[in-house]
């Protein structure tokens, strides 16, 4: 393995920002319980209140709408478990949405996506019409941008359809902040989920954004914290890091455009080195940091392992369990053939990604998947 590492898996977890680390270290010195009324408790409470304002400002929400949780998975589970009788959900959602939706006892209506990776809006309209006609208490869930392909979903149009039928909309926006503008008030969603570690904050903290006036039952009871939606003493340091990362993202200008230029350069190099490679979702609107690349005839796991040995961290579009390779559920939902679903890898860039990183990736890719490697 090479001594120098190139990290290109930011959709899984972005590197911790120095500002977030500093905020967390400072928060550890606030010894009080945020629910205590003494000076120490008020200091801890002020840290949380500041972070709540910072997260709200990043995504165009009110501070009163921000509920901190242990992460996006918990926040998504909270929404799915809210007692719905029917859930209309896009088939390309993250498993933290699909798994609880399938397990909650509601009638599940999975909405297809086309080969371009975009949820089928006519199917959304049809599903909502049928649900409304049945009188069932229904939820619509459509993610903002897909974590595997980067394809941006038509959330605003889905929100219009939801409003026509009086159905609330949930949006998993985990891959959005820092990669495209996110405005909760303008999207028309009733609940939206974000995660700290996707934008350079710490792991283990996220937020559920609930529109004022929307009634969702508490996920965790006992104590009254987080507007009684998520009780328990807050993770003050994690929340402080989340807020600091959010504030830094909100101040950045031109970063997303620079990253997209690097992503496009990477894809051009891949297609030159591997003419048979397929850029999944390449013709659809995408967040600028994500590339999902399939090399028919190659195993995704093998590509990831060999790139790792060359010092480059990417992720597989397929999962390996008990020695069996399984196709990526997102790509299957798009109707892509098995030689694509089993060979797809994801490369995801971040603010720290440099031209040298792209060069290192392409040099490794040429060895692992270039013409000579494929002929071997």
Q: Which residues are catalytic?
A: 320
Tokens describing residue 128:
């909502």
Q: How far apart are CA 225 and CA 252, in angstroms?
A: 32
Q: Any idea what the Cα angle at residue 135 is, between residues 134 and 141, rounded to 5°?
A: 90
CA distance 227 to 220: 11
Q: What is the b/e burial string over 209-221, where b = at least 16 CB atoms within 10 angstroms of the residue's CB?
A: bbbeeeebebbbe
Contact by Cβ (8 Å): 348, 252: no
User: What's the rounded Cα separation, in Å, for the pair 205 and 155?
Assistant: 24
How many whole angstroms separate alpha carbon 174 and alpha carbon 172?
A: 6
Q: Do 273 and 371 meet the contact criterion of CB atoms below 8 Å apart? A: yes
Contacts of 145 (CB under 8 A, 6+ apart): 151, 152, 153, 173, 175, 176, 179, 180, 286, 287, 290
In angstroms, the CA 68 to CA 65 distance is 10
Full DSSP string of 238-282:
HHHHHHHHHHHHHH--SHHHHHHHHHHHHHHHHHHH-TT-EEETT
CB 140 within 8 A of CB 88: yes
C-alpha 29, offset from chain centre: 31
Distance CA 236, CA 372 (A): 52
Q: Under a CB-based contact definition with an 8 Å cutoff, are residues 361 and 303 in contact?
A: no
């Amino acid at each position: 393995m090479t001594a120098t590492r190139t990290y290109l898996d930011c959709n899984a977890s972005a590197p911790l920002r120095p500002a977030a680390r500093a905020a967390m270290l400072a928060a550890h010195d606030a010894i009080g319980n945020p629910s205590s009324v003494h000076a120490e408790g008020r200091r801890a409470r002020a840290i949380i209140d500041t972070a709540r304002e910072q997260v709200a400002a990043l995504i165009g929400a009110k501070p009163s709408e921000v509920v901190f949780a242990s992460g996006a998975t918990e926040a998504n589970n909270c929404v799915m478990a809210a007692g719905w009788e029917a859930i209309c959900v896009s088939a390309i959602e993250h498993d933290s949405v699909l798994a609880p939706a399938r397990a909650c006892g509601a009638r599940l209506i999975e909405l297809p996506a086309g080969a371009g990776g975009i949820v089928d809006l006519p199917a959304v309209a049809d599903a909502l019409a049928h649900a409304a006609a049945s009188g069932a208490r229904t939820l619509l869930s459509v993610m903002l941008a897909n974590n595997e392909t980067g394809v941006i979903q038509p959330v605003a149009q889905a929100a219009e359809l939801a409003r026509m039928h009086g159905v609330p909309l949930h949006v998993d926006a985990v891959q959005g902040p820092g990669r495209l503008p996110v405005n909760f008030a303008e999207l028309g969603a009733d609940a939206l989920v974000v995660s700290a570690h996707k934008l350079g904050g710490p792991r283990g903290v996220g937020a559920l954004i609930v529109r004022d006036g929307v009634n969702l039952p508490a996920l965790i009871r006992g104590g009254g914290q987080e507007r009684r939606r998520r009780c328990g003493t807050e993770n003050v340091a994690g929340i402080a890091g989340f807020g600091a990362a959010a504030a830094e993202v909100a101040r950045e200008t031109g970063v997303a455009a620079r990253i997209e230029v690097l992503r496009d350069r990477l894809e051009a190099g891949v297609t030159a080195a591997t003419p048979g490679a397929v850029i999944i979702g390449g013709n659809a609107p995408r967040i600028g940091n994500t590339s999902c690349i399939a090399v028919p005839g190659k195993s995704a796991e093998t590509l990831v392992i060999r790139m790792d040995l060359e010092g480059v961290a990417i992720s597989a579009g397929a999962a390996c369990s008990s020695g069996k390779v399984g196709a990526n559920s997102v790509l299957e939902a798009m109707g892509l053939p098995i030689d694509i679903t089993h060979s797809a890898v994801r490369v995801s860039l971040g603010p720290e990604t440099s031209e040298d990183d792209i060069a290192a990736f392409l040099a490794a890719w040429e060895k692992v998947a270039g013409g000579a490697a494929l002929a071997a």
